[in-house]
Amino acid sequence: MATISSKISPCLWFNNEGEEAARFYTSLFPKSKIDRVIKSPIDTPSGKEGTVLVIDFTLAGQSFMALNGGSKGEYTQALSLAVECDDQAEVDHLWNGLKAGGKEVACGWLQDRYGISWQIVPRQMLDMLRHGEPAKAKRAMQAMMTMVKLDLAALQKAYDGK
């Protein structure tokens, strides 16, 4: 029997589409899987005895839980899931997958079909901000502020002053 392997794991609240969402997310990320589906042992406000209550899943090596809470919780951008991508191909893959049925926001942010906010960011952009010279970091940041989905080549060009 799988157990949650992280001391702290995000719990995502759904009306009754938690398993659907977990399967969607695990289809997009490598090192991802459904660990366990727990059915309710009793009737609850979220569903009848025997309906799916909790889904433990691993997303890119991180433990998550989806809870079918029986009512729609509202997500805000005050909490988002940030993904550091290795290259533009990974940015494109995750962006296109997560935005299906959702909406693009700005500066590498999108909201998926379930209302969860994601930041899809190339690791190189974060390195530019973390370790770059202030003038170069400023140019990269200014370029990022004009983008919706982040374009690593354009960010690098701005960083390099070209």
Question: CB of 145 within 8 A of CB of 157?
Answer: no
40 and 97 part of one domain: no
Sign of the alpha-carbon torsion through 85, 87, 90, 91: positive
Question: CB of 55 within 8 A of CB of 42?
Answer: no
94 and 138 part of one domain: yes
Q: Phi and psi at residue 121, in whole multiples of 5°?
A: -130, 130
58 and 105 part of one domain: no
Q: Residue 4: its pLDDT value, please?
A: 52
Residue 115 domain boundaries: 80-160
Q: Residue 24: its pLDDT value, please?
A: 98
Q: Residue 30: its pLDDT value, please?
A: 95
User: Does any domain span residue 139?
Assistant: yes
Q: Residue 111: its pLDDT value, please?
A: 97
Written as six digits, the tokens of 2 are 């799988």
Question: CB of 41 within 8 A of CB of 49?
Answer: yes
109 and 129 part of one domain: yes
Question: CB of 156 within 8 A of CB of 132?
Answer: no
89-103 pLDDT, tens digit per residue, is: 999 999 999 999 999
84 and 155 part of one domain: yes
111-142 pLDDT, tens digit per residue, is: 999 999 999 999 999 999 998 799 999 999 99
61-71 pLDDT, tens digit per residue, is: 999 999 999 88
User: Does any domain span residue 138?
Assistant: yes
Closest-CA residue to 81 (of 93, 92, 72, 94)? 94
- CATH at 20: 3.30.720.100
Least trusted range by pLDDT, from 13-17, 85-89, 106-110: 13-17
Question: What mean pLDDT comes out for the span 51-73?
Answer: 93
pTM of the model: 0.91
